[in-house]
Structure 1
Amino acid sequence: MQLWKQREITGLFLTSSMFKDPDYITERQLTVLRMLREAGYTGYIHLRLMPGVSKGYIREAVELADRLGINLETPTADSFSILCPNKGDYRQAVLKRLEWVVNEVKRARNRRLENKYGFGRSGVDTQMIVGALGDNDWQHLETTVRLYEDLGLRRVFYSAFKPIENTPLEDRHPCPSYRERRLYQCSFLVRDYGFKLKDFVDLVDDEGFLPNVDPKILFVKRNPDLFPVDLNEASYYDILKIPRVGPVTARKIIAARNRREIRCFSDLENVVGPCLAHTIAPYIHLKEKRLTYFLKIT
């Protein structure tokens, strides 16, 4: 509380190890959150709930916390039972509880409008460990897409596996950090750029792994028939598939073309700036071809 009052922090993250049954642990977590809220704390709270927690505790947790989540840990049930043997059944203790959290957050929508904090206003998230038990990137992508599309999670976190001494997995090799980075990039492409699972089919190798390459650049190389993109005709999501173009830039392009056709390179520079215009030039088509170009992607 003192740090928050001194404005040295704006929020907190509360989690716990699985040292007892999930309801006991969650009750202790909620006791802490109640004390904070009753003491006048209105800052951000991110609560990591325990697998297998009862629905009643989830309902109260949603009232107190701004963001909530339960760690999925692995993309498959088989690997979960090996990595987390004391956390219950994958589908019932984790996936079902995540669904409960999502539903409670939806029900709290009107109460969020009446309160300045809590009630799950920042959504639901989860985390998976990457590379602990031979899991490949395709498994993570499949699970990530389901979490976003079916459950409406706000974010999926990844953590590259690192072996710890005196644990059952201490002899396993650490996961390359680039896998975590590339999965994050793909996750954002799904969440914010409209990518579907089918868009990643040609990006993974025969064993289901992503190369250490920007997935958007790789998408262009694997789908040359989709490029160059006509900025005056393309949909919002087709424009988002252009490397280095994000939602803000895509909206700028659409707003500009609605006012006046983007005919030449100088028009594009006026919309997105000279630096970005040159960066995306290899991937776009404009009517006045002499002022633009398309480089073959190899």
Structure 2
Amino acid sequence: MPGTPKYLLEQIADHANKFGVNAETTSALNYSEICPNFDYNNDVLTRLQWTHDLIKKKRSETRYTGQIIGANDTQFVVGAVSEPDRDIIRTVHGFMNKYALRRPYFMSFDPVPDTPLENSTPSPKWREHRLYQASFLLKDYGCKASDFDDIFNEDGFLTNDDPKMRLACVHSDYFPVDVNCAGREELLLVPGIGPISANRIMQTRPITSEQELMRMGVVMSRARPFIELNGNRQTNISSFIESAL
């Protein structure tokens, strides 16, 4: 809803369970190519601030039941203009910090006939998928935008690989992680361990077998090279990285 008047947003806040203000891209210059009739700073960023303020206001009201207003969402059209994944990830992280963005959505660009961008190259679907994975790492795993700098290619794009696995392989010196001693942040660095399984590990320790980890939801085929269990490494990490990268 870029450009929506503030009074309408206030009325919507009484009935909606989330707001969606589509940023589409990462800058005013790029936005002018996609949506020439709107202003990025005023119609998008200002609206994101308004919706963020409305969410905070509703949550703070004692009469508020908790059933309405819970999230700020946005969408990016991936590949419509030339911005690299580095810019998208930095923008997403900035929105999370400034506007409490709950979730970004990504849509791979596919040119439409008789539009200004009809001759542009379509964006591969895998790029959309990798950006979703990166956004989950920002939201749920404690990653920062700068953490991805080590896995972008020279043009600032992600490769078609799982970004969490790439980060683990690039930072192999962080591993192995002892599942019986590691803190939650350390556990979340391990491929195959997510927020739920990390919590289960910490609640259940000590853990003595891979079977226990599997019952907690750990994907052992991914986690095995990066963990230590009962003082033993489960797989040689160097050999795994050589085959994975």
Please, what TM-score do these two structures have when normalized by structure 2?
0.90
Judge conservation of contact 2:188–2:194 (CA < 8 Å) in 1: yes
The CA deviation string for residues 38-96 of structure 1, in whole angstroms up to 9 with x for no partner, is: xxxxxxxxxxx2x2222221111111111111110111221001111111x21121111
Contact kept in structure 2, 1:99 and 1:151, CA below 8 Å: yes
Over alpha carbons, which structure has the higher Rg? 1
CA contact (8 A) 1:229 1:284 kept: yes
Of the candidates 150, 166, 176, which is equivalent to residue 218 of structure 1?
Answer: 166
In structure 1, the partner of 2:95 is: 147
Task: Give 1:288's aligned residue.
Answer: 231
Q: 2:24 aligns to what SS in structure 1? A: coil
Correspondence for 1:196 among 124, 141, 144: 144
Match of 1:174 in 2: 122
Q: What amino acid does structure 2 have at the position aligned with 1:286?
A: L
Match of 1:251?
199
Write the letter of the residue equivalent to 1:205: N
Deviation at 1:245, TM superposition (A): 1.0
Residues 1:277 and 1:101: Cα distance change in structure 2 (over 3 Å): same
Other structure's SS at 1:125 match: strand
Count of aligned pairs between the two proteins: 239
**In 1, Cα distance between the equivalents of 2:211 and 2:195?**
17
- 1:75 corresponding residue in structure 2: 26
- Flag structure 2 segments of 5+ consecutive residues without an equivalent: none
CA distance in 1 between partners of 2:154 and 2:231 (Å):
41
Once the two structures are superposed, residues 101-157 of structure 1 have per-residue CA deviations (whole angstroms, 9 ceiling, x without a partner) of 01101111155974474x313x11000111111111111011011111221111100
1:204 touches 1:211 (CA, 8 Å); kept in 2? yes
Could you tell me how far apart the structure 1 residues matched to 2:173 and 2:59 are? 43
Q: Give the partner amino acid of 1:295.
A: I
TM-score, length-scaled by structure 1: 0.75
Please say which of residues 229-238 and 129-138 is displaced more in the overlay: 229-238
Mapping of residues 27-42 of structure 1, within 5 Å: none
| Contact 2:59–2:66 under 8 Å retained in 1 | no
Q: Which amino acid aligns with 1:59?
A: E
Measure the CA separation in 1 of the matches of 2:227 and 2:12: 48
